[in-house]
Amino acid sequence: MALTVVLMGCSGGRTEKEPESYNYKRGCEAASDGNTDEAMKYFQEEVDENPKNGYAWAWIQCMYRDKEEYGEALSAGAKALKYLPRRDHYYVAFTHATQAKVYYAMDETEKALGEVTKALKVEPKNEDYLSMRGGLLWEMDEYAKSNADYEKLIQLTPGATDGYMGKGRNLLEMAQYDEAIELFTYASKLDSDLSQAYSFRASAYLSKGNNHAAAQDIVKSLEMDGNNRSFFIMQDANDTCYRELVVMMKMKANIPGAERDKWTYYQGVLHQRQKHYHKAIESYKESAALEATAAVYENIADCYDQLGNYPMALRYIDLAIAQDSTDDGFIQSKADLLYNNGEGEKAVAEMSRFVERRPNFYGGYYRRGFFKDNMLDVDGAIEDYTYAITLKDDYAYAYLGRGDMYIQKGDTAAARADYEQAARLDSVIGKTGDCRQYALLMLGMPDSAEVHMKRILAQDSTAGNYYDAACLMCKMGRLTEALGYLQKSFEKGFRRFAHIERDDDLDALRGMEEYKAMIDTWKKKFADESNEDAENDILVALPETVEMETTEVPFKKEGSMMKISCTINDLPLHFIFDTGASDVSISEVEANFMLKNGYLTRSDVQGKAHYSTADGSVHEGTVLNLRHVKFGGLELNNVKASVVKSQKAPLLLGQSIFERLGRIEIDNESRVVKVTHKK
């Protein structure tokens, strides 16, 4: 909210005076101090007394948008536009732009475009609005129109990197790679810390087939700040630039003083994408030995899962959970690993934990139902599949699973209705489930089922799809073909033997000597591979169980804020504990004081990044490394923080801190934050 204050207060050149009423002024003051609940109270009282105060409605619009209450935000914005003085171009344009951002958040791109166009009619030279419309037009594939906005932005501000980046992005989509490369290169000259210039230029080089230049730019971008785009480009480039990227990252890791944990982690990602799981595990373990994170442990667990070494995978997913007990995805992964390891009851129990945490997510009920289905708990599976359908009535797999269970109970009418629904919903290969073939078979259409299965394999010949083909052929009584597909699934890496043993789709094969020999052969082959490096595990001293403890951190209430004492690099400060903030931020005043008085060094200034303000616009800011953050007996090292260009901005600690601590509970009655973490 403090950042919104800056934007709404930076209206240089305005001639209109804002209202002087008591509630309006108090609301502005409360908002400036970050007390958004108090500010909303004053603004609401203001519009109750003066319903035609468009300025108050504009503030209310912003606050509702920040809360993601989009209906209220649009209504408040409409009233602001109705009552604001037409000649106050700043506020009128700002309100239209905020409406655009609300519509964009609602995936109403056309309406968002209309609102930002209205903002530009009022303020045609506003750089933020030109950049916003250029971005919307880019998303709508209107590259020529988008270029017109970016060209105007460049004319207004020749040093505006947004203009060159936006235009380059359009040319990239238009396959004008050389011109795009020139623009990205120029943007990097204007701002040497603009990592996106290198990641986008890497995309252009990849399209031209210049893999070496692309790899250089990817590594350069990752070196600067590891922005999400460069990380995804690295993975997309893996098939063409794998060797170049690995070599360059090894060189980076060997430079004295380099962030070796980061570069070894990236190497692990590259190896894992290439299915070189042993190499990936080696790189990840090297990274974990330098800095243990939940993400590293999760990836190691996934590699062991792919190798079929479920006991080792379970050890590492437990470590991931110990590092971050708030991530529900780890619990789901553990449930799958338990099931693959033949521990069905434990898998159901673990999935029940997931369901307790996310009771409104259909996938949790479906997965638990799948486990029960294969453990012959027919009624339990029907119940869970029904929950999944209730929460997501277009999920084909849930209808198919429930249909199979109704067959087990002899209710053929209910089963047929579910199979028909599954076949109707699963109509697009690769998008709606890829289970239609089973439904067609159960509806008495084996030829159509086979045709559909072959279409799936032609489009996506993965191990899992070959296993599905084996199951389908087995259910059709074509056992020789079923064995052929099963062999192919093993060759491609399928190794879920605990599931194979439970899967009644394969019952007709179990008495065949060829089947038994195939299973024995592949079990031995996978066992040899998966145990290859288990004895030399560099993290072999893993605890059998992870002991957790809870630390209570006291806070003081100031309005709606929770204020907690802390030290940053041994400087005593107070911060606002904000579960809604995505990052850590400090004001320019605090940053400058710390720099001048030795609490920060020049090496702690890590460059620049782009961050989103409370009104949704993107600005450039400085990124700092906070070496030591202590509060309530807890300590974290090397915490990234952004500097907010506002003297009144509070010190905020957000999700990037929480994710590293563990599970967070706020006890307002006792005024403590309870942090459950590894002992």
Q: Per-residue pLDDT for 327 more than 90?
A: no
As a whole number of angstroms, the distance between CA 12 and CA 419 comes to 65
Residue 107 or residue 659, greater confidence: 107
Residue 456 or residue 530, greater confidence: 456
Residue 381 or residue 464, greater confidence: 381
Confidence of residue 35 (pLDDT cuts 50, 70, 90): confident
The predicted-structure confidence for 169-187, as pLDDT tens digits, reads as follows 999 999 999 999 999 999 9
Confidence of residue 119 (pLDDT cuts 50, 70, 90): very high
Residue 101 or residue 324, greater confidence: 101
Q: Per-residue pLDDT for 380 more than 90?
A: yes
Q: Which of 149-163, 258-272, 373-387, 628-642 has the lowest mean pLDDT?
A: 628-642
How confident is the model over 29-34, as a mean pLDDT?
82
* Mean pLDDT of all residues belonging to the chain: 85
- At residue 484, the pLDDT reads 94
Q: Which of 111-125, 150-164, 323-337, 599-613 has the lowest mean pLDDT?
A: 599-613
How confident is the model over 509-524, as a mean pLDDT?
91
Ramachandran region, residue 526 (left: φ > 0; alpha: ψ -120 to 50; beta: rest): alpha
Of the candidates 583, 581, 585, 582, which has an alpha carbon nearest to the alpha carbon of residue 573?
Answer: 585
The predicted-structure confidence for 582-599, as pLDDT tens digits, reads as follows 567 887 777 877 877 778
* Residues in contact with 186: Cβ distance below 8 Å, sequence separation at least 6, in sequence order: 164
Token output for 627: 């070496």
Cα-based distances in Å from 677 to 321, 492, 549, 551, 598: 10, 40, 6, 8, 32
As a whole number of angstroms, the distance between CA 575 and CA 561 comes to 10
- At residue 564, the pLDDT reads 84
Alpha-helical segments (H) within 2-107: 2-9, 22-32, 36-49, 54-66, 70-83, 89-105
As a whole number of angstroms, the distance between CA 436 and CA 455 comes to 11
How confident is the model over 317-345, as a mean pLDDT?
91
The helix/strand/coil state of 110 is helix
As a whole number of angstroms, the distance between CA 475 and CA 243 comes to 44
* Beta bridge partners of residue 664, listed in sequence order: 675
As a whole number of angstroms, the distance between CA 411 and CA 361 comes to 28
Q: Per-residue pLDDT for 7 more than 70?
A: no
Residue 320 or residue 629, greater confidence: 320
Contact predicate 577/649, CB 8 Å = no
Residue 551 or residue 404, greater confidence: 404
Q: Which of 308-322, 473-487, 623-637 has the lowest mean pLDDT?
A: 623-637
How confident is the model over 249-270, as a mean pLDDT?
90
Contact predicate 230/261, CB 8 Å = no
Which H helix or E strand runs over 642?
Answer: strand 634-644
Of the candidates 333, 340, 336, which has an alpha carbon nearest to the alpha carbon of residue 319?
Answer: 333
Contact predicate 234/218, CB 8 Å = yes
Q: Per-residue pLDDT for 65 more than 50?
A: yes
Q: Convert 471-502 to b/e letters by CB count within 10 Å (16 or more is b).
A: bbbbbbebbebbbebbbbbbeebbbbbbbbeb
As a whole number of angstroms, the distance between CA 514 and CA 171 comes to 57
Q: Per-residue pLDDT for 122 more than 90?
A: yes
- At residue 10, the pLDDT reads 38
The predicted-structure confidence for 611-665, as pLDDT tens digits, reads as follows 433 333 334 467 787 878 888 778 877 777 877 665 555 677 765 565 566 667 7
Sketch out the chain's domains with CATH numbers: 19-124 (1.25.40.10), 548-678 (2.40.70.10)
Highest-confidence segment of 436-450, 485-499, 625-639: 436-450
* Residues in contact with 68: Cβ distance below 8 Å, sequence separation at least 6, in sequence order: 105
How confident is the model over 108-114, as a mean pLDDT?
95
* Residues in contact with 17: Cβ distance below 8 Å, sequence separation at least 6, in sequence order: none
Q: Convert 411-420 to b/e letters by CB count within 10 Å (16 or more is b).
A: eeebbbebbe
- At residue 13, the pLDDT reads 45
- At residue 603, the pLDDT reads 64
How confident is the model over 562-566, as a mean pLDDT?
83
Of the candidates 524, 512, 565, 518, which has an alpha carbon nearest to the alpha carbon of residue 673?
Answer: 565
By percentage, how much of the chain surpasses pLDDT 90?
55
Q: Which of 31-40, 62-71, 578-587, 601-610 has the lowest mean pLDDT?
A: 601-610
As a whole number of angstroms, the distance between CA 672 and CA 552 comes to 6
Contact predicate 589/648, CB 8 Å = no
- At residue 597, the pLDDT reads 76
Q: Convert 525-549 to b/e letters by CB count within 10 Å (16 or more is b).
A: ebeeebeebeeeeeeeeeeeeeeee
- At residue 71, the pLDDT reads 95
Confidence of residue 448 (pLDDT cuts 50, 70, 90): very high
Contact predicate 419/436, CB 8 Å = no
- At residue 432, the pLDDT reads 63
Cα-based distances in Å from 426 to 333, 402, 450, 463, 471: 25, 15, 15, 20, 18
Would strands 634-644 and 585-587 be described as parallel, antiparallel, or unpaired? Answer: parallel
- At residue 430, the pLDDT reads 66
